[in-house]
Structure 1
Amino acid sequence: MDSSFYESDVAYTGAPSHNGKRGLGTDKQPFLVVLSTEQENQYPLYIKLHEVTSDSGNLIQEFFDQYVKMSNERKLNTDGKTTYNILKTRLQVINEAIDYDKEDHRLYFLNKIISNLNQYLLHVYHGVSKRMLPLYYGEYEWRFNHRKCRTIMDKIKNYITQSGVATRKMIRDYVDQYAMARGLEIS
């Protein structure tokens, strides 16, 4: 991702928690969302979704090193979590608490995207197992990032003609390998 402004948050996907807790105490699946925009708090350009095992600064730093172009001229808006402070030497991190009651708060579009993703998983797929979540994150990310593409059918045609048949076993094996490489729990 290459932009002057980023927004990021760790969100949670899943059914209501059995323990009744929210945020860090929940047993829902955490995932990291990074959104790029042309101007601060403006219409989003691209997103990147990534499931994480926990909400930690080291995981966030690894993700940003791999996927986000960083420099001191670029800004990152977050919601006040201290886990983003690890990036302060490489980005301008605006890490303040947000008043979500205000209609035009700093993470407005990011929160809309997270809400849409959760509704998409709930109402389109009627729930997804934790094991298959990376595939659905990838699909949602691809759909969002290609939403303005005029020749989408040409791209899809090229992908289909260049790809082979993937059996259910092949997909299951790939998901298992992915989970093991990330150190995720296979359920």
Structure 2
Amino acid sequence: MFQRPMTLLEFQAKFPTDDACRNHLFSLRFPDGFRCPRCGHDRFYVIRSRHLLQCQSSACRHQTSLTVGTIFEKSRTPLRKWFSAIFLASHDKRGISALTLAREIDVTYKTAWAMLHKIRHAMRTREQSYKLGGIVEVDETYVGGPGENPKPGRGTNKTPTLVALSLSPDGKPGYLRMQAVENVKGETIAAFLNQHVEKEAIIVSDGFPSYAPVAQDRPVLAMKFDPKNNPDHMKWLHRAVSNAKTFLLGTYHGIKGKHLQAYLSEYTYRYNRRHFQGEWFNRLLQASISASPITVAELTG
């Protein structure tokens, strides 16, 4: 059932304080009521000075936090600012830059950058939890920042990126995957497909020779791309790639290097939820508490 997107005023009214955010986190982490993560006891009390939940079992007394095991773990940033960052990141399909986020929620650029990358980590973790199936279009593209070699296609010095898009039974675009890779050799393509695409899926590709080894283990329909005589060949994938490059250039002014994959994962996460507009905030918040913690050192290392 279609859900109307939450407005900014509705969001602010629902989460005016950190306590309101903690109460919402509690309902998400313990939807059936509290259960001690160590002993399973169902009674607890709150240590308010430290925002901890302590098990009331005399044999346990385990203390836990609502943020442990999430991207919020050990963060000194107030939960209300985290919730605001997730709301802003989820409600604009163009994404939000660290500079804009820093200004909107009154944090430093460094803090905003780390928050957004932790949110992208949650997006990527969620996308890795399932594989594409059915008919899957597969191709490669090349992504880079402004000023890099503008030569199109194979031979450019931009980052090679593998792309897979599943199709629904009526031929409409389904779910997307994009992965930055070192090269587009057959073994690289095979590893990408093994990670992201079900073994029984039918692969649709162009006539690039690197797909030949893949055809030994998977059903592959290869057809040389001819934009003049067959413009509809993999048209949905090509459109998704074009939109991804616009996304990267529009909000982030081009991305390259070690963080490229984080932005590609952000785009695919958004693309795959394009039909769930009213659920964007709750879905991204759920992804954020389901993903494992990641430190700034891990993000920058």
The bucket for the TM-score relative to the shorter chain is 0.7 to 0.9
Q: Does residue 159 of structure 2 align to residue 29 of structure 1?
A: yes
Q: Does residue 197 of structure 2 align to residue 68 of structure 1?
A: yes
Q: Give the corresponding residue for 1:7.
A: 137
SS in 1 for 2:199: coil
Q: Does residue 224 of structure 2 align to residue 94 of structure 1?
A: no
**8 Å contact from structure 1 (residues 98, 105) kept in 2:** no
Instruction: Return closer, same or farther for 1:60/1:165 CA change in 2, 3 Å cut-off.
Output: closer
SS in 2 for 1:27: coil
Instruction: Return closer, same or farther for 1:79/1:143 CA change in 2, 3 Å cut-off.
Output: same
The 10-residue stretch of structure 1 (59-68 or 29-38) with the greater mean CA deviation from structure 2: 59-68
1:56 is displaced (CA, Å) by 0.4
SS in 2 for 1:124: helix
Q: Does residue 286 of structure 2 align to residue 158 of structure 1?
A: yes
**8 Å contact from structure 1 (residues 76, 94) kept in 2:** yes
Separation of aligned partners in 1, 2:180 and 2:189:
11
Q: Does residue 176 of structure 2 align to residue 43 of structure 1?
A: no
1:160 is displaced (CA, Å) by 4.5
Pairs aligned (count): 169
**8 Å contact from structure 1 (residues 6, 75) kept in 2:** yes
1:168 is displaced (CA, Å) by 4.6
1:162 is displaced (CA, Å) by 6.2
SS in 1 for 2:164: strand
Q: Which blocks of at least 5 consecutive residues in structure 1 are unaligned?
A: 174-187
**8 Å contact from structure 1 (residues 76, 92) kept in 2:** yes
For 1:146, which of 266, 273, 280 is the aligned residue? 273
Separation of aligned partners in 2, 1:164 and 1:53:
26
Flag the structure with larger Rg.
2
Q: Kindly provide the amino acid, as one letter, of the partner of residue 30 in structure 1.
A: P
Separation of aligned partners in 2, 1:163 and 1:85:
36
Q: Kindly provide the amino acid, as one letter, of the partner of residue 96 in structure 1.
A: M
The 10-residue stretch of structure 1 (88-97 or 132-141) with the greater mean CA deviation from structure 2: 88-97
Q: Give the corresponding residue for 1:53.
A: 182
Q: Which blocks of at least 5 consecutive residues in structure 2 are unaligned?
A: 1-130
The 10-residue stretch of structure 1 (31-40 or 56-65) with the greater mean CA deviation from structure 2: 31-40
1:116 is displaced (CA, Å) by 0.6
For residues 117-150 of structure 1, the C-alpha deviation after alignment (integer angstroms, 9 at most, x for no partner) is: 1111111111223221011011011111122234
Percent of aligned pairs sharing the same letter = 25
1:55 is displaced (CA, Å) by 1.1
For residues 28-47 of structure 1, the C-alpha deviation after alignment (integer angstroms, 9 at most, x for no partner) is: 1110001111237x211101
SS in 1 for 2:247: helix
**8 Å contact from structure 2 (residues 143, 158) kept in 1:** yes
Separation of aligned partners in 1, 2:205 and 2:257:
26
Separation of aligned partners in 1, 2:259 and 2:143:
12
1:161 is displaced (CA, Å) by 5.5
Separation of aligned partners in 1, 2:204 and 2:147:
27
**8 Å contact from structure 1 (residues 3, 38) kept in 2:** no
Separation of aligned partners in 1, 2:227 and 2:213:
24
1:97 is displaced (CA, Å) by 1.0
1:84 is displaced (CA, Å) by 0.9
Separation of aligned partners in 2, 1:104 and 1:21:
22
Q: Alignment RMSD, CA only? A: 2.5
